[in-house]
Structures are given as C-alpha cells and as structure tokens.
Amino acid sequence: MRSQQTVFTALKVCTEFTSRATGRGNQKKCVKGQPATTATYFSRRDFGTQTLSTVALWSSLCAPPAEASLSAFERAFYQAMEAGSTTKADEAWSRAINLSPENAAAWSNRGTLRLQLGRWEDANTDLQFAKELELRQNGEANSLLLNNLGNTQGAIGEWDRAIENYLSASKDPSMSEIALANYALALFQIGESEAGLKEAQSLVRKDPNFWDMRAAVTAFLWGAGQEAAAEASWEDLKACGDGLGAALYSSVDRVKGRWPPRATAALAAFLALERTGEAMDYDGEVKTYSFN
C-alpha cells in the first residue's frame, strides 16, 4: 500500500482557531493555555504556487499549556498534536477518542492522520463517524471534514459518495474553490470528462491565478483529444508567474499523490506528447490510461 497518496488539490494554508475540540463552543479566538483545534485548509493564494499537502482538520495550540492544568482528554489531545511520530500521534488520538468518544474533532483528526498515511478504510471509518457526530450535535458537518471524507471515499472507489461530499463542502464559501476543484478531478476520474473540464474552466475563469486548475484544464483537454486547445491552455499557464506556472507542472511530481490517477495520467500523457499515460492508483499499482 502506498503511504502518501492523497486526493487533494489547490493549496494555501489558512487557519481559524476554534475550541470545538474541547467542547467549549465555537470561539473565533485563542484562549491562552487551552488546546484549540485549527481548521486548516489550502488554497492557491499562498505564494501563487500550490503546496503538496493535505486538506486537513488539524490541531494547534494557542500557547503551550501546563499539562497539570489539563483534563485527561485535553492532555491526550495536546500529546497528539505534539507527537514526534505518526505512530505516537495515532495512539494519542485514540486515547482522546476513548476518553471522549462523542468528540467529533478527535475522530476527524485521527481520520485525517490516517488519510495522510494511506490507511484509506480506517480513515473513512473515522471521518464518516465524525460527520455523523457533527450532524447529530450541530445539525451540519464542517466543510473541511466533508472534503476530507470525500478524499477517503475517492481513495476506496466510492466516487459517487465523494462527489456528494465535495458538493456539500462547496456550499461553504471558505471551502468552495477547493471542494469544487476536487469535484472537477473526481468527475474526470469517473469518465465524466466534459463535466470535469467545464468545472475546472469555471474555476479558472473565476480565478486566473488558480494554477492547479489551469494545469487540470490542460490535462483534461489533452485527455479529450483536444490537443490544440490543451497546448493553448499550457501557453496560458506558462504566462503565469513569469513562467513559474508551467515550470511547476513540467513534471507530474507536482500533482502525483494529490490528483486522482486518471488526471495525473492525462497530464503525464500531455507532457510526453503521448495518447497514453501512467499513474499510481490507490492500491499502489501503476496503471496505464488511454486517451484515444
């Protein structure tokens, strides 16, 4: 099994502190000495370049607390955030869940960690349960959680359910671009290439600096046999950032592990001027895709 395959796209680190993890409401500020979860997601406005990271409900501290002042659950939460290895982090999230099994943030954080590790089924179980908890407790699920759940579902081949969660996540304005980008990639993955292309083109029209989707448009056009249009799209990408845009996507390394395999293979085919391309699937096997 591949350990670092993820399905994410578009990427700028943005954080919003909330104390949801410890059950203390939904504050928009940090409380000194208390653990707080950080809703962290990624968009394309960071440096004009996309970082290869995950869309995560992750956790952070406003300030290191005195452990003696923490409850057992808070201590486990803190230890998970400060863990020096993924094994220790997983163990700490599991302790937090055992201490507070109705805490959606602990489930979503462990699920996100397992998603990053390529433990697709385990991640899906955790994130699905986190979603159910949030729906029951809050009447709605966090858009970051929905997007991550979509990523796990895509990885296990449940693309219809993934698409539903991407569309639900896109209703949150702060998550809309990322979720819709994943939606476009999912459509292309399941063979709905024209619909995926239209969605990607729409995102680029709304934001010409969305380089990840410009590269996706190029790949989708090539995959659809529209070679001249794909070349024109590539020229547009080359004009971004004084050539940096195309330079970043001149290798599939830029998207490998973030895009689903069919889109990755389409970009590989475009770069090689071939009608077939290869990409690693979620089962760790390299597969060949034909774009005739």
pTM of the model: 0.79
Q: Per the structure, how many domains does the chain have?
A: 2
Could you read off the pLDDT of 168-198 as tens digits, one per residue?
999 999 999 999 999 999 999 999 999 999 9
pLDDT band at 292 (very low <50, low <70, confident <90, very high): confident
284 plus 139 within the same structural domain:
no
For residue 26, what pLDDT band results from cuts at 50, 70 and 90?
very low
Residues 57-93 pLDDT 10s: 333 333 445 555 678 999 998 899 899 899 999 999 9
Q: pLDDT by residue (tens digit) across 101-121?
A: 999 999 999 999 999 999 999
Q: Which domain holds residue 201?
A: 194-290
Residue 201 has pLDDT above 70, yes or no: yes
Whether 213 and 90 share a structural domain: no
Q: Domain check: are 69 and 137 in the same one?
A: yes
The pLDDT of residue 190 is 98
| Res 237: pLDDT | 96
Same domain, 174 and 203: no
Instruction: State whether 126 and 256 are in the same domain.
Output: no
In a domain? residue 4: no
The predicted pLDDT at position 68 comes to 57
Q: Are residues 119 and 245 in the same domain?
A: no
Give the C-alpha separation, 161 to 163, whole Å.
5
Phi, psi at 56, each rounded to 5°: -135, 145
- pLDDT beyond 70 at 282: yes
- The CA distances from residue 43 to 75, 176, 179, 209, 277, in Å, are 31, 10, 10, 11, 27
Instruction: For residues 242 and 199, state if they share a domain.
Output: yes
pLDDT tens digits, 220-270: 999 999 999 999 999 999 999 999 999 999 999 999 999 999 999 999 999
Per-residue model confidence (pLDDT) at position 117: 94
120 and 202 assigned to the same domain: no
